Amino acid sequence: MITQSELEKLIIEPETDRIEKTISLKDSNKFGEAICSFANDLPNYSKPGYLIIGVLDNGTRNGTIVQEYLLQMLMDFRTDGRINPPPALAVAKFSFPDGDVAVVEVQPSSQPPVRFNGKVCVRIGPRKGLANETEERILSEKRSSFARSFDTLPCYDSTIDDIKEELYRFTYLPKAIDKETLEQNHRGVTEQLSSLKFFDLKTNCPTNGGILMFGKRPRFFMPGAYVQYVRFKGDDVVSDFDFEKRFEGDLATQMRIIEEFIQYIIVREVQHNLGEAYQYNYPLVAIKELLFNAIIHKNYQSNAPIKFYEFSDRIEISNPGGLYGEARPENFPNKNDYRNPVLAEAAKNLGYINSFNVGVKRATNALKDNGNPDPVFTLNDPSGFSVVVYKKEI
């Protein structure tokens, strides 16, 4: 984050590609558009942008008092899902004799185009607004030049014919892009997919994320792209099992099927006294969050599947790929990072996760509220991640 002396220099500069000043304290749409545009970094400065609140266009402060609610509102843009992929930002308050100033420092995204409520916001000098088709293409090509995550890389040997176009067009697109933009969209399917990180224009093939989300045969390209469910009769893997199921195919479909399937695992048991509420062995929210967390964070370069095992006393979920990026055993679950940011964004757009970086906490709270023991995580295995959820004793 910039220092107070550096901020004083920024305040007296006119608004540019990297600076926006406002005295509004409640215009969340304006804040979101500014953060989104700085994350997109269309001029490609590779430097942070600054939203400065409490300052007039001429650089004078207007006596603003920055309270905690404003700082929290600004921080929420990191995780509440309105901006996809989640922006890297820092928020700070600076106090001057003639008023407070709130500053949001936004880092350029490595996964553009970034969208705020489904719209790609950009700015070039004093001009700010929505990206046109050419600008979106520039952002898509910029992403290809420094793609770092597996799901943004091209899936070589695949073609557009390997994508279920109708699934993408009618199931995903209306949820990912706002209605107004869709009505004005006359681009071809490959450029649409590229804008959403599902197609690589340079190599003219779908990305790994595109094949995983909408592919006709994901396992042809990534053999480990499936979830293996087994229900054992006893409390270990050597005991007999009475049911097994494999979830495979495009994730846009499979995540819906998995969500419906989970509900059958949540066994309801009513107490003997008539009229008392049903009790659940496992809360639906917890199992859903933990399983979708495994799908999003899986290392899809591994041929091993996600294991979803139900025993007589517990559920175990494990996926290839340990804690990733900035996430470490010592800061889990307070710090998170996404091995597959495209899959995370898609799951958010489809409504399978509500916000970013809070799934494990939501699951833990749901288990506590239901009366289950705390989940047990395996955090020190670099090759895999697992969680054990114990059954509620009724």
What's the mean pLDDT in 87-102? Answer: 93
Confidence class for position 354, pLDDT limits 50, 70, 90: confident
Task: Give per-residue pLDDT as tens, 234-263.
Answer: 999 888 998 999 999 999 999 999 999 998
What's the mean pLDDT in 356-379? Answer: 90
pTM across the whole model: 0.71
- In the block, residue with structure tokens 């659940």: 280
Task: Give per-residue pLDDT as tens, 72-81.
Answer: 999 999 888 8
pLDDT at 182 over 80: no
pLDDT higher at 44 or 222: 222
Of these ranges, 211-215, 236-240, 330-334, 390-394, the one predicted with the greatest mean pLDDT is: 211-215
CA torsion, points 96, 99, 102, 105, in degrees to nearest 10? -50
State the number of CA atoms in the 13 A half-sphere of 246 facing the CB. Answer: 9
The 3-state DSSP class for residue 43 equals coil
What's the mean pLDDT in 346-368? Answer: 87
Helix axes 359-370, 284-297, angle to 10 degrees: 160
pLDDT for the residue numbered 273: 57
- With CA atoms as reference, report the closest residue to 243 among 228, 224, 258, 230: 230
pLDDT for the residue numbered 267: 63
Distance CA 269, CA 254 (A): 28
Distance CA 61, CA 292 (A): 46
Confidence class for position 269, pLDDT limits 50, 70, 90: low
Distance CA 218, CA 199 (A): 15
pLDDT for the residue numbered 118: 87
pLDDT for the residue numbered 106: 96
Domains of the chain: 4-127 (3.30.950.30), 147-217 (no CATH), 226-390 (3.30.565.60)
The enclosing H or E element of 276 equals none
Task: Give per-residue pLDDT as tens, 97-135.
Answer: 999 999 999 999 988 889 999 899 999 877 788 988 888
Task: Give per-residue pLDDT as tens, 136-178.
Answer: 888 877 765 555 789 999 999 999 999 999 999 999 988 888 7
Task: Give per-residue pLDDT as tens, 321-352.
Answer: 888 877 788 888 887 778 898 999 999 999 99
Confidence class for position 268, pLDDT limits 50, 70, 90: low
Q: Please enumerate in sequence order all residues whose Cβ is within 8 A of that of 116, keeping only pairs 6 or more positions apart, or say none.
A: 32, 33, 35, 36, 82, 83
pLDDT for the residue numbered 275: 61
pLDDT for the residue numbered 331: 85
pLDDT for the residue numbered 59: 87
pLDDT for the residue numbered 274: 58
Task: Give per-residue pLDDT as tens, 4-30.
Answer: 999 999 898 888 889 999 999 989 999
pLDDT for the residue numbered 158: 96
Confidence class for position 41, pLDDT limits 50, 70, 90: very high
CA torsion, points 282, 284, 286, 291, in degrees to nearest 10? 110
Above pLDDT 70, what percent of the chain?
A: 93
Tell me the pLDDT of the chain averaged across its residues.
Answer: 89
Sign of the dihedral defined by the CA atoms of residues 353, 358, 364, 368, in that order: negative
Stretch among 83-92, 264-273, 371-380 having the lowest mean pLDDT: 264-273
CA distances from 228 to 152, 248, 262, 314 (A): 25, 9, 13, 16
pLDDT at 201 over 70: yes
8 A C-beta contact, residue 297 and residue 319: yes
Type of residue found at 370: N
- Residue spans of alpha helices (H) in 146-200: 165-167, 173-176, 179-183, 189-195
Above pLDDT 90, what percent of the chain?
A: 59
CA torsion, points 27, 29, 33, 39, in degrees to nearest 10? 90
